[in-house]
Chain A
Amino acid sequence: MATIAPTKPLTGRRSAPLLKRKKMKSPYSFWFYLVPAILYAVLFLVPTFASFFFSLTRWTIFDATFIGFGNFVQFFQEPNLVQGLVNTFIYATVTSALKVVLGMLLGVLLTSQIIARGYLRSVVFFPVLVSTIGVGITFAVLMNPTKGLINEALATIGIQGPAWLTDPAWALLSVALVDVWKGVGLATVIYIAGIVSIPTEYFEAAKVDGAGAWKNFTQIILPLARPATVTVIILSLIGGLRSFDLIWSMTRGGPGFTSDVIASVIYKQYQAGFYGLSTAGNVILFLIVTLIILPLSAFLNRKEVY
């Protein structure tokens, strides 16, 4: 497959003097590394292992009783966990699929010669910069079935909009759509970077061969933007699997349990004071994300040649 050629000689040239310096004695003595090591241990290692311990206890914050794997058994018996798991996968798949498709289309559009390109690029990216909770609360108001702007606008053209966030069939999908609205800007930027880095020689050669816009897209952009696609899929899938803030600010997992995802199930257990149980849930979430992303990342990256 392709090589992204220009980067190699550049880094090669620049790293040469660095390498020479490395052969001399390192100017940093061991205590220079001690501070980051302590910080890492206190802020990351200790909480991680503490959480593995607390996931094996019945923990009230005030005291903890060791109960072995009871929390994990309990967690898998949760009546709404299965629904939460299914919802998590639906949410992650829908959002990452839409982000790939829309992000690529917007990326192609915003790298072509159009009017106000710079302005449009910033407009597309703008939602990424806004606070997720703010977006959630705003859209919860806009999506109100009777008083919301969206349904009132639909009503003027004679369409009876659904009860976006309170209809069990729509709630999860509505949140996913807002997630796409908010996140597609990032996907677009990644695609723009990917498309811009394709050497123009390919397009020139294609032009000589008489290829049209469609051929350009399917034969050049699509395969050569593969690293961008991989990045977008992995980022949005991880984001989707552990998504919480938007769902919580828009539906709180409701109505009932219909838009619950793993993270909101865990949060509700934490809220309820089941600290051990929710810690066990987090350990499980950690394992699930790892189990999905590691093989997926290996699969998507396997054909890449740098």
Chain B
Amino acid sequence: MLLHGKRRTAIALTASIGALALVLTGCSNSGGSTTADGKVALSFLTDNAPANVSLAEGLAKDFNASQDKITVKVETRPGGSDGDNIIKTRLATGEMTDIFLYNSGSLFQAIAPEKNLVDFTNESFADNVMDSMKPVVSVKDKLYGVPVGGAFAGAILYNKKVYKDLGLTVPLTWDQYNANNDKIKAAGKTAIIQTYKDTWTSQLDVLGDFANVLASDPDWATKYTENKAKYATDPVAMAGFEHLQEGFDKGYYNKDFGSATNTDGLRILATGEGVHYPMLTSAAASIIADYPDAAQDIGVFATPGDDPAGSALTTWFPNGLYVPAASKNVDAAKEFIAFAASTKGCDSETKAIGVTGPYLIKGCDLPADVPAYVGDLLPYFNKDGGTQPALEFLSPIKGPSLEQITVAVGSGITSAAEGAKQYDADVKKQAQQLGLSGW
């Protein structure tokens, strides 16, 4: 049973290459599958923010109960830039879940939707999406996502009970805001809460101030995208950085601002130890879940600027739900998307986390009894020009290092002017990476 030398070599070669291929592809995903009871099993990826996990699980549970062919199972991923990375890598390798939740606006633009996502333009549920939402989940008039959750704002959460106790009124300008801060500090409380352990929370002074930038120049976002407007050279745009430095210089921040987390910040606000927290209003949903007694004590006002009539509210569109083109269960996934983009979907969301802001699905009205902070948001939404979209919905460029820069400015490590200059350089890098012209 002697084999010819050459043939033996050939067999060995084939075997070893085969074994190698097995080793190298060992980690690949099996993709679509059916469960033991014959249902189609869909995976659904969300970030691990408590409100989004509850939202996703609520939607999955109600959808699973509404029909008997498909089961949706929720998986979680980290948020922030770690999460961006996971999304991009899983899309690029074809390992994405059947459905995933991700930001709308500039981050959505950065995941190459035309290449990676399923087009919803001709689906019947596409008509349920409100027109104002469509641009932030579309590329060239093709719709790739539907909104999940309510619209929210980047503004200042405040404790109404302390305001009442100290006899303060809601400030309309930055000077009034600082006057309030002085009184709060004199009363022995933390005037402004900052939580730099979760670095993303440091950006709100800059991002939430954008309505004031737009008030001074309605074309600012276009100029910014075209490399004509800069944070460092525009005093109105730089104000966000200056506010951060001012808060540090005047000692308004909580003593442990460097090591506090977002959860710590919400606790400090709910208990009234701290009074102002520049934050996304969606975060208030978890106060209501964790401190039901404080639910009616939490209010919101827009980040103040120079206008004595008050500022507009900087708003964020909800996250989107997307289906990757590489999914093996596109049709089943679309059924889930159709459910989420219907009034049944909003009802399910309200049931899961309560109302956090106006929905962007047609026919989804808000119930009469909304939490106090949502009640504070509605007048802005109902007023003409009362809201302005955040910069990330008007321009595809958002510099990835903003959170480190704002931490450095808010910790007194770099000056506001220096921080603004660093951010302009960061923005330039991102614009070049996106391949925009004029950079």
Contact = CB atoms under 8 A, between A and B. Distances in A.
B112 A60 contact: yes
A179 to B, nearest CB: 20
B353 to A, nearest CB: 28
Task: Count chain A CB atoms within 10 A of each CB in B82, B89, B413 and give the residue with the most.
Answer: B413
Interface in B388-437: 400-401, 404-405, 407-409, 411, 413-414, 422, 425, 429-430, 432-433, 435
A256 B81 contact: no
Contact of B432 (A38, A58, A61, A271): A58
A119 B367 CA distance: 67
Given A255-B413, A256-B408, A256-B414, A272 B92 contact: no
Given A144-B259, A254-B196, A258-B413, A273 B24 contact: no
Interface of B: 9, 12-13, 16-17, 19-20, 24, 81-82, 84-85, 88-89, 92, 110, 112, 115-116, 196, 199, 255-256, 258-259, 400-401, 404-405, 407-409, 411, 413-414, 422, 425, 429-430, 432-433, 435
Given A42-B24, A146-B259, A254-B199, A65 B435 contact: yes
A146 B196 CA distance: 14
Nearest to A59: B433
Given A271-B84, A271-B85, A273-B88, A256 B411 contact: yes
Contacts of A256: 404-405, 407-409, 411, 413-414
B259 A272 contact: no
A163 interface: yes
Contacts of B88: 61, 273
A74 B426 CA distance: 11
A62 B404 contact: no
B258 A255 contact: yes
Interface string A222-265: 00000000000000000000000000000011111110000000
A135 B115 CA distance: 41
Contacts of B435: 58, 65
Interface in A41-62: 42, 58, 60-62
19 contacts: A31-B13, A60-B433, A62-B92, A62-B116, A79-B422, A79-B425, A145-B259, A163-B258, A165-B259, A166-B258, A252-B199, A253-B404, A254-B196, A254-B407, A255-B407, A255-B413, A256-B411, A271-B81, A274-B433
A117 interface: no
Contacts of A163: 258-259
Nearest to B5: A29
Contact of A35 (B16, B258, B411, B413): B16
Given A60-B112, A273-B110, A273-B400, A31 B258 contact: no
Contact of B256 (A29, A146, A168, A273): A146
A208 interface: no
Contact of A272 (B199, B401, B405): B401
A167 B199 contact: no
A270 interface: yes
B230 to A, nearest CB: 15
Nearest to B16: A35
Contacts of B112: 60, 62
Interface of A: 29, 31, 34-35, 38-39, 42, 58, 60-62, 65, 74, 77, 79, 144-147, 163, 165-168, 252-258, 268, 270-274, 277
A254 B422 CA distance: 16
B93 to A, nearest CB: 9
A73 to B, nearest CB: 12
A145 B258 contact: yes
Given A34-B16, A39-B20, A273-B84, A74 B400 contact: no
A31 B3 CA distance: 15
Given A60-B112, A60-B433, A62-B92, A168 B411 contact: yes
Contacts of A272: 81, 84, 400-401, 430
B84 A145 contact: no
B196 A255 contact: yes
> 6 closest A-B pairs (Cβ-Cβ)?
A256-B408, A166-B258, A272-B400, A61-B92, A271-B81, A35-B16
Contacts of B407: 254-256
A74 B258 contact: no
Given A166-B256, A255-B408, 9 more contacts: A31-B12, A145-B256, A163-B258, A255-B258, A255-B407, A256-B411, A256-B414, A271-B84, A274-B400
Given A145-B259, A146-B255, A256-B407, A274 B12 contact: no
Given A35-B20, A38-B17, A271 B82 contact: yes
Contacts of A268: 81, 400-401, 404
Contacts of B24: 42
A52 B383 CA distance: 56
Contacts of A38: 16-17, 20
B150 to A, nearest CB: 28
Given A58-B433, A74-B429, A166 B16 contact: no
A165 B258 CA distance: 8
Contacts of A257: 404, 408
Contacts of A77: 425
A147 B404 CA distance: 24
Contacts of B258: 145, 163, 165-167, 255
Given A34-B13, A165-B259, A62 B81 contact: no
B61 to A, nearest CB: 32
B429 A273 contact: no
Given A62-B115, A79-B425, A146-B259, A273 B404 contact: no
A61 B81 CA distance: 16
Nearest to A70: B432
A270 B84 CA distance: 11
A254 B401 CA distance: 12
